[in-house]
Each structure stands twice: as C-alpha cells, then as structure tokens.
Chains A and B, each alone.
Chain A
Amino acid sequence: MKTEDNRPKYLNLLKIRLPITGIASINHRLSGLILFLFIPVSLYLFQLSLSSKNGFAEMLTWLSSPVIKLALVVLTWSFIHHLFAGFRFLLIDQNIGISLPAARKSAWFVVFAAVIVTLIISGVWIL
C-alpha cells in the first residue's frame, strides 16, 4: 500500500485561499475576539455614564472623539458580523441550510450584509 503523501502543505496564511464559509467562520472568531477586548471599555463607560451628570457628559465627549469613532466602526462591524454569523450557526445547528450551496449562499450573505449594515450605521450615526 502506498502511503506517500504528495499533497502540498501550505502554512503560509497568505497562500491559503479560504472558501466563503471559512471566511464567515474566521471573521466570527476575529469579531468575537474584538468584542471580548471591548468588555473592560464597556464596563468603564457603563460606570462612567451612571456615575453623575458630568460623567455622562464625559462619556459622550469621549465617544465623539475621532479615534474612538474609528474604533466604534470596527466595533459595529464586529457586533453585526458576530450577530449575523452567530444566527447562521444557530440555524445550521437546527439542520437548516446545511447543504453546501445553501451554506455558501448564507455565508456570502452574512459576510456582505455585515459590511453593508456597518457602512449604513457608520454613515448615519457614528461619523
């Protein structure tokens, strides 16, 4: 029996072409990690906003600085993507949309809808 493995091994991440379902999945992880890092910031803002009238105003000023606004756009994308992709995973758990064409289609939808909704929210509200 021939056991030799001639399949190419690529560990160069830039050479690995992920299918769209893989992109939806890795973005789910990435967005989750970003949201995780935001936990202490959210607690700080929550505390500040409820501390006093001045604290609340301070939070609003803080939120309207340009650098923070850029961070808010990233955060918005993370939230929306994580929500959409998470909802997709819950449906897949229920055996809904598990055929490859359906899974591909929903992955395309999640990846692009997240970007489009982020752009809309950023345009209307953040920037």
Chain B
Amino acid sequence: MSLQAQGMRAWLLQRLTAVYIAVYSLSLIIWIVVKYPVNFETWYSFFSQPIILITTIIFYLALFVHAWVGVRDILVDYVKPSSVRFILLTALALFLTVMTTWLLLVVISLVKV
C-alpha cells in the first residue's frame, strides 16, 4: 500500500471508529441515567446479554484503533528523534496489545459463568 493510501486508511479508520465510540458511549450514558441508580444485578445482567457484550467488545476495539491513530499522530508531530519515536510507538503498540488481552480476559470471565 502506498504511503498516501496508508494515510487515507488511518484518516478513514479514525472517523469510522469515532462515530462508533460516540454512539456507544452516549447510549451507555443514557442507559445509566434512565436506570439510575444502577445496582449490581441490573449492571451484571445488562452486560451478560450477548448483544451488549459484543457491542462492548467492538467499542473497546474501536477505542484501541482510535487511540493508536490519535496517539501516533501526536508522537509523530512532537517527538522528532526517530529512535525515541520508534521506542514510544512500540510501547504504544505493546500497551494496546496488553489492553486487548485484558479485555478478552474480562469477557471470557463473563461468558464462563
């Protein structure tokens, strides 16, 4: 893929994930406000529903992609020495991989019960 196409893909991904993140978070906030105050049973049964679990997984994955593009933009703009930039980008990728693993562990613990 050409550099231009890569930039275009990042641009598009950033916007698609932005819309999903916005819709998911606002929906969840509205749900909390409507059900307020939420107790454990309501909260737990809500997130145990397959559709909510799946949309939540997609939310976090969209968030990780969005964070990757966004933080990468910041690093590329402000961190000039290429070695430091490389180390920070690697750290970012590693961090998001750990977050993804953590998310999957939380999801697995919910599905097993």
Tell me if chain B binds chain A. yes
Which residues of A, 81-98, contact B by the 8 Å Cβ criterion?
Answer: 83, 86-87, 90, 93
Which residues of A, 53-92, contact B by the 8 Å Cβ criterion?
Answer: 53, 56-57, 79, 83, 86-87, 90
A87 to B102, CA, bound (A): 30
A50 and B43 contact, CB distance less than 8 A: yes
A56 and B43 contact, CB distance less than 8 A: yes
A46 to B63, CA, bound (A): 15
A50-B44, A79-B25 given; A43·B102 CB < 8 A: yes
A57 to B40, CA, bound (A): 8
Q: Nearest CB to that of B98 among chain A residues?
A: A40
CB distance from B11 to the nearest CB of A (A): 9
Provide the residues of chain B in CB contact with A127, threshold 8 Å.
none
B106 and A46 contact, CB distance less than 8 A: yes
Dominant secondary structure at the A interface = helix
A33 to B70, CA, bound (A): 8
A32-B70, A36-B67, A90-B15 given; A43·B43 CB < 8 A: no
Cβ contact of A43, chosen from B18, B67, B70, B103, cutoff 8 A? B103
Q: Nearest CB to that of A56 among chain B residues?
A: B40
Partner-B contacts on A (CB < 8 A): 29, 32-33, 36, 39-40, 43, 46-47, 49-53, 56-57, 79, 83, 86-87, 90, 93
Known: A32-B67, A51-B109, A90-B15. 16 other contacts (CB 8 A): A29-B74, A32-B70, A32-B74, A43-B106, A47-B102, A47-B109, A49-B43, A50-B43, A50-B44, A50-B106, A56-B43, A79-B25, A86-B22, A87-B22, A90-B18, A90-B19
Partner-A contacts on B (CB < 8 A): 15, 18-19, 22, 25, 39-40, 43-44, 47, 60, 63-64, 67, 70-71, 74, 99, 102-103, 106, 109-110
Could you give 13 example pairs across A and B, Cβ below 8 Å? A29-B74, A32-B67, A39-B67, A39-B99, A43-B60, A43-B102, A47-B102, A50-B47, A51-B109, A52-B40, A79-B25, A86-B22, A90-B19
